[in-house]
Structures are given as structure tokens and as C-alpha cells.
Amino acid sequence: MDALVLSHLRRIAHKLIPLLAAAGVAYSYEAAARDPDPMLGLPASVTRIQGAPPATAALGKRLFFDTRFSADAKVSCATCHQPDRAFSDGKPVATGTEGRAGTRNAPSLINAAFLTTLFWDGRRRTLEEQARDPFVNPNEHGLADEAQLLDVIARDPAYRQQFADAFAADDAVVDIDHVTRAIAAFVRTLVAGNSPFDRYYFGGDASALSASAINGLAIFRERGQCANCHRMEKDHALFTDHDFHTLAVGLDRISGRLAQIVKRAPVPGDGLDRAVLADVEVAELGRFLVTGKPSDIGKFRTPSLRNVALTAPYMHDGSIATLEQAVEREIYYRGLEANRPLVLTTQQKRDLVEFLRSLTSDALPN
């Protein structure tokens, strides 16, 4: 049975536990721990459970790791989204073909299937749209055009067969949409729940978190007000509100010349992808580049905090090196919002970090 379908059935069964207990049917969390639900804590989405055909996801995985789709034959999607780093890359900003540095930190792709917008500024709404941009961006894969990519596929008999299997497509009709659909299908398999937090909060296992992490969770939800943006729902937690906010990170570098920098910004939707990664000052304009609204200057998408302990450095520009420093920045921002300092003790900050570490899933996809 498909693992995601099985996960959905487990969720249904979990809701029946009180009824089973009333009927005298025994259930133990110890037994559940031996057969963990990899989706525990994630949305029970019908589209996620249905998924894509395995052949399409397998093709997407091969495309994702293939360095031939870059100008120097050294860069693949996995260059910036490495499995052992929760599909991030550990660098302040991503590095593309010929060592060219971009302007944005590479976010994790784990659970990207649940996001409503992609990229830090939300300029793409689907994984298919997102997958298309890097191939022809000079600061990423650096191909001159999509025809170069399709030529690699056309000359590879194994690829031609995989595309035929995945899409029932003749060799002659393989196009960029097939490529991006396959990559998106693979990315949608990169899901992971079942962290210590999930087993504690959604699974009812009181022993899953340390006392420090439990205290950190309380601070996260209440005094720290972190959950205002890093949302937790009744039956799942993606730790994002899918909205755009500013922590004023990077704005100090452009505030004195903001008017001139805004003039360099492209019209929303016109060459935006290239402009963002080519001009570090324009990149700091954030969501404004998509909407054209002055109130969106410096705003960026709220990142999920799942597996956050594995994805340093932090913020859209990778300027915050450690989880501890990220917590300090969040506390400072929350104080500004409330128009009064938010004061936490050293131990409370440690507890908050301990809670954030508990969001690491036990088993990550690769």
C-alpha cells in the first residue's frame, strides 16, 4: 500500500482511539512508535495522498540530480538542495554555475509541497513554475535556453524511455513542461513529519520532549508570540502562515538609497527571476518586486521551521549564522511589534532553541 495512503488511514484510526478504548480495545503509543507515521504533524491533504505516478517522481529525481543541465556541467538542483542538509545547502547564498553567487539563501525543499507560494518573495505559485526558472538563470544553471536542456534528454535513450513511461509521450513531444512536471512530482515526495515535537503534540507521547523543549514550546506559543507567524493548527503544523513579513534584515544596507534602488527594480513579472539573483540591492526589496506595493518593501515569506536545526544559516540572505542568533533576532522583532522590549532570560532562550531542535524529523527523504 502507498505510504501516504497508509499514513492517512493511520490518522483516521488515531481519531478512533477513544472509541476503541471505550470498547475495550487496547492501544499503546509504544506500539505506534515501532511503526511510526512519517506524516505525523503534516496536513492530511488529498492531493498529497494521491501523489504522482511513481515513474514520474523517479524521472524527476534523476533530473534533479543531473549536472548535465548546467552550463559547466557541474550544477544540478541538488547543488543548492542537498539531501543531507534537509535539501538546503549550508551556505549564506546559493552558488551556481562557474561559482557565481546569488543573492538569496537556498530554502529547504522538505514539505515544499504544502506551500502556497515559492521563493522568498513568493514570485511563483506552483512547484512546476518554480522548477523552470533556475535552468536559464545565469547565476544558477546558466543555460542559454531551454533547448539546451531538451537536447541532453533527446540524446539520452534512457531519458527518452523514462519520459515515455512517465507521460506516455512520444520522444518527439518531450518539452519543458514534461521536465518541470517530473521535477515537481519528485519534490512532492520530499515530505517529513514525525519529529519529537509531533510525537509529543499530535501523538500524545509525553516522553517525546525534554522539559526544556516543553518549556520552549510554551514560550513559542505564548510569551514569545512566535506562533503568530509560524503557525500551529489543531491537527497539523507547518510553522508558517504563508504570508510575508519583515524582520528588517538587510534593509539597513539599502535604506539610504531606497528610491534609486526601487527605480532599478523590474516591472513585476518582467525578468524578475534574473533581476533578483543579479542585483543584491534589488533583491532586498523582497515581496515588493512581485506586488509593486511600497508596503511590501523588505517583506519575505515566513519560512517553515521544520528541520530548522539542519538548515543554517538563516534569513533570506543567510546573514544569521546560528539558531541562537535567529532566536535573538525574532525576540528583537517581536519587541518592536509590541512597542516594548520582549525580555527573555538566558534559560528561556535556551529552552526556545531546544524546542526548535525538536522539530527535526527522525527520517528525512533523500
Are 139 and 277 spatial neighbours (Cβ–Cβ below 8 Å)?
yes
Find cell 527520517 and name the residue: 363
Residue 161 C-alpha cell reads as: 524511455
Instruction: Report the C-alpha gap between 128 and 114 in whole angstroms.
Output: 13
pLDDT at 49: 45
Rounded to an integer, what distance in angstroms lies between the CA atom of residue 334 and that of residue 118? 25
- Taking CA atoms, 356 is separated from 127, 350, 360, in Å, by 27, 10, 8
- Integer Cα distance of 203 and 191 in angstroms: 18
Contact 7, 51 (CB under 8 A): no
What is the residue whose three cell numbers read 534559560?
A: 347
The SS3 of residue 314 is strand
Element (H, E) at 300: strand 300-301
pLDDT in tens, 236-285: 999 999 999 988 888 888 888 899 999 998 887 668 888 899 999 999 99
- Which DSSP string corresponds to 185-221? HHHTT------HHHHHHTS--TTSS-HHHHHHHHHHH
- Say if residues 79 and 120 touch (Cβ distance below 8 Å): no
- Nearest of 29, 7, 1, 5 to residue 17 by alpha carbon: 29
The DSSP-derived string for 224-285 is T-GGGTS---SS---S--S-EE---TTGGGTGGGHHHHHHHSPPTTSSHHHHHHH-HHHHTT
This model's pTM is above 0.85: yes
C-alpha cell at 333: 522583532
Domains, the chain, ranges and CATH?
52-187 (1.10.760.10), 251-297 (no CATH)
pLDDT mean values, one per 10 residues, the chain (366 residues): 49 47 46 66 67 88 98 97 97 96 96 96 95 95 96 95 85 85 96 96 96 98 93 96 90 86 84 88 94 94 97 96 93 77 92 98 92
For residue 27, the model assigns a pLDDT of 43
Classified as helix, coil or strand, 88 is strand
Q: Whole-angstrom Cα distance, residue 43 to residue 358?
A: 19
Give me the sign of the Cα torsion angle 108, 228, 47, 364.
positive
Residue 311 near residue 110 (C-beta atoms within 8 A): no
